[in-house]
Structure 1
C-alpha cells in the first residue's frame, strides 16, 4: 500500500513531545489524582471515631459515631452503590445533574478521547504495516470504522489467526473507548437522602438527640460503700458524676515529668486545669473545688527504672508524681481514702438519649433503621470510580507504549502524516481493484463484493524504503558493532567461567581454553524483534 506524506520531516523535539511527553504527562496526572484522592480525600472507616453523629451507609445501615466495622467505600457488595454522595437536592435537580454528567462527560469525553487517540492508532497501524502485512478486512475496519464494535470484532478475529502485542494494544484501546461512556455513567447516580432513627416502643426516635459520652469503670468502688465495680460517664446525669471526674484527675497520677518542671508536693482539686485536656467531662473552674482532692508528692526515683532511663537519656533528669491520700464527696458525704487512689479502667463510650438515659449499644444495633427523606443526593460509587481510574491508567500506559514504538521503530512516521478520508478511499480502492480486477470490481453488487473481500486472503503492507531510517535503525547502525562485540565478550567470559566451575566440581579435566571475543564474532547479530 502506498503512503502519500506531506514531505515535512518532524524534528526530534517535536516528535518526542508528541509521542512521549503528552501521554506521559496525562498518565502522571491520573496516577497523582488516584493516589491523592483515594488515600487522602476519600473518607475511611477509621475517621468515624472522630465523628460524633450517627449516619447511614449506602446499603441502608446505621453507622455509629465510633466507626463502621467495614469501610463502605471498599465494600465489594456496594460496587454499584453511591458511597460518595453530596448535596441536598430535589428530584428535578438531581436528575438534571445526572443527565448533564452523562451527556457532557460520558458521551462528550468519549468523543474527545477518540479524536485524540485516533492519530496514534493510525500511526501505529502504519508502523505495524511496515513490519508485517495485515489482512485487508482488519485494515479497512480500523481505517474507516474507527473505534466501533465492528473494528473490535475484526481485531478479535485477527488475534485468533496471528498474535501481536500491537494488536492486543489496539483491542484494549477499542474496548476502553467502547466502555468509556458506560463506565462514566455507571459510577455516578442520585439517591434519596437517608436519616438514622431507632425504635423505642412504637415511636421512631431521631438519632440527632443521642449523645456520645466517655466512660470508665471504677474497679474498687467498694471503698466508697458502692458496689465493687461501678461504671461512670462524663455527664451530669450520672448520679456518681463526681466519681467520674475523680477518675479523670487520677489519670495524671504516676506520671513522669522533667525534674526542672515540677519538684514540689501539692494537691489536685476538682477544678484543677492540669487534667482539663484528659476528659471532656471535667468541672468548670467556677465550680466548688473541694468535691474531691488528691494529694501527691514528687518522687525522684520512678518505680520503672528502665522506662525512666530511656526518657532520661532523651529529656534529661526525670521524676515521678506519686498520688497518696484523696478525698471525694458523693451524696453529701465526704470519703477520705488512703493511698493508693481509686483504680479505674477505660471503657468504650456510651450513648445517652435526650433524658440522660444510657442506651445499650447492642440494643441500638437491633432497633436502628434508616428512613428515606424527600431530598436527594448526587455522587459517585467509590469502587466504580477506582475501577475507572485504573482502566484509564492502563489505557494511558498502552498509549504511551504505542507512541514510544512509533517514535523508535517507524520510518513512515519520521515524515509528518496527514490523514484524509478521501486519501484513504483512493488508497483502498486501488487495493481492491488490484485484488479483484478493475472491471470486475466496478460491476459487483455490494453484498457480493463484501463476501468476496472477506473470503480473499489479500493483505496490505506499507513499503517504507523511500523514507528515512527509523531511530532504532540509526542507533543500531551507529552503535551496533560496539554492542555486538560487548555481547561476544560476555559470552566468552561466561563460557570460561562455566568451564572453570565444571573443572572445580570434577566434571571435566584439563585446562579450560580461554575464548576470545573475536571467536564467533561474525556470527553474532542483532535482530530487530518487532
Structure 2
C-alpha cells in the first residue's frame, strides 16, 4: 500500500545507516559521515549495457583475462596485508565497538517482539482452519446438532458465526462464567487500551508530518493530539473532515485511520462476541419404545455369524468394526464411502494371530479372522465344502456369515472383505450400499439402521455424576471457547493492524528525522499550538471575550472548522520505505546474499542430527552483522564475534540435549 499519494524520497544521510530502513538505532547521525546515494536502477542497468563490449572482450581475449587475474591477485595480497596489519584490526574493532554502542538493542527487541507477534498470528490463522481441528469425534457437532457423519460439519458455515464452535473443559457454571468475565476484562478492555495507545501514538506521528505540508481542521488536531484514544465523536469528526478538503496527504492512510478508530471502539464488543460458554452435550438415540439410550452404547456392525454355535459362539453373533464400548462410533464420508471411526489396523500383528483351541477372542481377532474366512469361503454358507475357522476344522457347509455395509476405502477394504463381493445368486454386490450400515445395541438386543439413527438422534446436556455417596450431587458442566469464524477474522484483523501500524510508524519516524523534527504537538504543546492558530485566524475577534458556544459558532461558521499547520518543514517530501529498504540492501548486497543462502540451506537441510541446524548460527551472525555494522570492517568483526558466540551456545545446548536423551 502506497502510504503517500505525493512524491516520496529517501533521506540521503540515512540510506547508509541501519536506521535508514529499520529504526533499531537511536543515535546521532552527525557522528557519521553521510553515505552517497545509490543511482537509480535504470541508470545502473544502462551502465551495465554500456560495459557489455568490455565483458565480451573479457570472455574472448586471453590477455584481458590475464590482466584481470593479476589485478585480483594484487587485491588478494593487499587484503592479506591488511589482515596482518594490527592497525587495521584495531580500526575494525573500534568501528564495531562504536556501532555496537550506538545500536538500539531495545529497539531490536521491540521489532523482534512485533515480528514474533505477527508470526504467531499468521501461524494460528493457517493452523486453526485445518480440518483436523474440526474433525468431530462425537455425533454432537460443535453447533450442538446431532449428525452421525463426523466430517459433515462446515466450519465456515454462517450458522457458526455467533456460536461457540471451539470449546474445551468441563467446568461448573461459576468457573465458566469467571473465565468468560476474565477474558472480557483482560482481552477486551485491556486490549482496547493497548490498541488505542499504540494507534493514537502512531497516528499523531504521521499527522505531525502531514500538517507540516497540508493543514487540518481544529477538530482533527484536537482528536489526534489532545486525546489519547478514539471516541465516537472524534471518529465522526475525522470522517467528516477527511471527506472535506481538510484531509491528510494520503487517502489510503485516512481510510486506514478511520478503520482503526472504529476497530478500537468495537474491540471489547468483538472480543466478547467471539467467546462464550455452553453446556457439555452427549449424543442420544430415541428407540421405538420411547427409551433414550446413549449413542456410545451402540456399536457399528460389520458381520453377523448366524450359526456361531459351530465355533463356540452364539447364534447370530455380531462382529463389530471395533470395540467402541464407552466411545461413539461415528463414520466419515469420503470418495470411498463411509469409513468408521474405530477399526482394526494392521499395525499390531498380535490382534491378527489366531489362538489355537481358544473360544475367547479379542474384537480385532474376530474381525480379522471373519474377514479372512469370508474371503476364502464366501458369504451365506453357499460353499458346500469343509472349511477351517481359526485352526478349527469344520464340516461342510461353510459358516453362514452375512454383512451389513463394508467400506470400500483401500486402506480398510482388505481388512474387512466383502465390499466388492458379488452374490452369485443375484449377481449384485449387497454390502456396498451405505444405506445398509447398521448399529447394534447389546443391552436391548436391537439393531438400528443408519437412517433411523440420523432421524432419531439428539444432543442433550450431560451432568457430572457423583462418584460416592458423600460427594456433591450431579451438576451440569460447561465448556468455554470461541466462535471459529470470529476468531479467524480477529486474527486477520490484528495482522493487518500490526503491519499497518509498523509501516506507518516507520515512515513517520524516518520522515520526521529527515526534516529535523524530534517532537510533536501533544498535550500542553498541542494546546499552545491550537490556541495560537485560533488567535491568528480570528483576527477581528478576541477569543477571550467569547463564551464556549460563541467561540464554537465562530469557528464553525466563520472559519468553517479552522485550519492549523505546523511550521518548520524544509521539504514537503516524505521518506520512501521501498526505496529506503532497497538502498539499505544494495549497500549490504553480499551480506544479504550470504544470509539468504545460509538461511535457505538451514531451512531445507536442517535435521535432528544438527548438521543443517548449525547453518542457522551462520545465518544469525550474518543478519546481526547486517543490522549492527555500518562499514565492511565493522560488519566483519560483528559477524566473527556473533559466529563464535553462536557456535559456543549451539554446541552447549546441543550437548545438553544429547546428554538428556542418551
Report the TM-score when normalising by structure 1: 0.61
In structure 2, the residue matched to 1:193 is: 280
Residue by residue over 1:304-324, the C-alpha shift from the partner in whole angstroms, topping out at 9 and shown as x without a partner, is xxxxxxxxxxxxxxxxxxxxx
In structure 2, the residue matched to 1:364 is: 453
Equivalent in 324, 327, 335 of residue 387 of structure 2: 327
Equivalent in 126, 129, 147 of residue 211 of structure 2: 129
The offset of 1:410, in angstroms, is: 3.8
The offset of 1:432, in angstroms, is: 1.3
In structure 1, the residue matched to 2:80 is: none
Equivalent in 122, 136, 146 of residue 62 of structure 1: 146
In structure 2, the residue matched to 1:97 is: 179
In structure 1, the residue matched to 2:565 is: 461
In structure 2, the residue matched to 1:110 is: 192
In structure 2, the residue matched to 1:148 is: 231
User: 2-side partners of 1:240 and 1:121: how far apart?
Assistant: 75
User: 1-side partners of 2:481 and 2:218: how far apart?
Assistant: 46
The answer on whether the counterparts of 1:137 and 1:454 sit within 8 Å (CA) in structure 2 is: no
Equivalent in 477, 486, 491 of residue 375 of structure 1: 477
Equivalent in 351, 354, 358 of residue 442 of structure 2: 354
In structure 1, the residue matched to 2:529 is: 427
In structure 2, the residue matched to 1:249 is: none
The answer on whether the counterparts of 2:530 and 2:564 sit within 8 Å (CA) in structure 1 is: no
The offset of 1:110, in angstroms, is: 0.8
In structure 1, the residue matched to 2:502 is: 400
Question: Residues 183 and 92 (structure 1 numbering): CA distance in 2 closer, same or farther, change over 3 Å?
Answer: same
- Is structure 2 residue 355 aligned with structure 1 residue 285? yes
In structure 2, the residue matched to 1:17 is: 23
Question: Residues 281 and 454 (structure 1 numbering): CA distance in 2 closer, same or farther, change over 3 Å?
Answer: farther
User: 1:378 is paired with a residue of what secondary structure?
Assistant: strand
In structure 2, the residue matched to 1:203 is: 291
In structure 1, the residue matched to 2:486 is: 384
User: 1-side partners of 2:544 and 2:119: how far apart?
Assistant: 56
User: 2-side partners of 1:396 and 1:173: how far apart?
Assistant: 11
User: 1-side partners of 2:234 and 2:200: how far apart?
Assistant: 13
The answer on whether the counterparts of 2:274 and 2:487 sit within 8 Å (CA) in structure 1 is: yes
The runs of 5 or more residues in structure 1 that have no matched partner are: 1-8, 227-235, 246-273, 297-324, 480-530
The offset of 1:407, in angstroms, is: 4.3
Aligned residues: 388
The answer on whether the counterparts of 1:147 and 1:177 sit within 8 Å (CA) in structure 2 is: yes
User: 1:70 is paired with a residue of what secondary structure?
Assistant: coil
The answer on whether the counterparts of 2:219 and 2:237 sit within 8 Å (CA) in structure 1 is: yes
Q: CA RMSD in A?
A: 4.5
The offset of 1:67, in angstroms, is: 1.3
User: 1-side partners of 2:139 and 2:345: how far apart?
Assistant: 32
Question: Residues 98 and 46 (structure 1 numbering): CA distance in 2 closer, same or farther, change over 3 Å?
Answer: closer
Question: Residues 172 and 237 (structure 1 numbering): CA distance in 2 closer, same or farther, change over 3 Å?
Answer: farther
Question: Residues 122 and 425 (structure 1 numbering): CA distance in 2 closer, same or farther, change over 3 Å?
Answer: same
User: 2-side partners of 1:167 and 1:422: how far apart?
Assistant: 25
The offset of 1:439, in angstroms, is: 6.5
In structure 1, the residue matched to 2:257 is: 170
The offset of 1:327, in angstroms, is: 2.6
Residue by residue over 1:438-475, the C-alpha shift from the partner in whole angstroms, topping out at 9 and shown as x without a partner, is 962011111121222223143112223469986559x8
The offset of 1:167, in angstroms, is: 1.4
The offset of 1:409, in angstroms, is: 3.8
In the TM superposition, 1:14-93 aligns within 5 A as: 16-17=22-23, 28-41=115-128, 44=131, 48=135, 51=137, 54-64=138-148, 66-71=149-154, 73-93=155-175
The offset of 1:186, in angstroms, is: 0.9
- Is structure 2 residue 220 aligned with structure 1 residue 138? yes
User: 1-side partners of 2:300 and 2:23: how far apart?
Assistant: 58
User: 2-side partners of 1:210 and 1:112: how far apart?
Assistant: 52
The answer on whether the counterparts of 1:412 and 1:464 sit within 8 Å (CA) in structure 2 is: no
User: 1:62 is paired with a residue of what secondary structure?
Assistant: coil
The offset of 1:197, in angstroms, is: 0.8
User: 1-side partners of 2:140 and 2:319: how far apart?
Assistant: 36
User: 2-side partners of 1:178 and 1:422: how far apart?
Assistant: 25
In structure 2, the residue matched to 1:239 is: 316
Question: Residues 400 and 375 (structure 1 numbering): CA distance in 2 closer, same or farther, change over 3 Å?
Answer: same
The offset of 1:138, in angstroms, is: 1.6
The answer on whether the counterparts of 2:135 and 2:151 sit within 8 Å (CA) in structure 1 is: yes
Question: Residues 453 and 238 (structure 1 numbering): CA distance in 2 closer, same or farther, change over 3 Å?
Answer: farther
Residue by residue over 1:250-306, the C-alpha shift from the partner in whole angstroms, topping out at 9 and shown as x without a partner, is xxxxxxxxxxxxxxxxxxxxxxxx995599985743455998888x9xxxxxxxxxx
User: 2:461 is paired with a residue of what secondary structure?
Assistant: strand
Question: Residues 46 and 388 (structure 1 numbering): CA distance in 2 closer, same or farther, change over 3 Å?
Answer: closer
User: 2-side partners of 1:470 and 1:366: how far apart?
Assistant: 67
Report the TM-score when normalising by structure 2: 0.50
The answer on whether the counterparts of 1:141 and 1:150 sit within 8 Å (CA) in structure 2 is: no
Question: Residues 24 and 77 (structure 1 numbering): CA distance in 2 closer, same or farther, change over 3 Å?
Answer: farther
User: 2:164 is paired with a residue of what secondary structure?
Assistant: coil
The answer on whether the counterparts of 1:124 and 1:402 sit within 8 Å (CA) in structure 2 is: yes
User: 1-side partners of 2:314 and 2:118: how far apart?
Assistant: 52
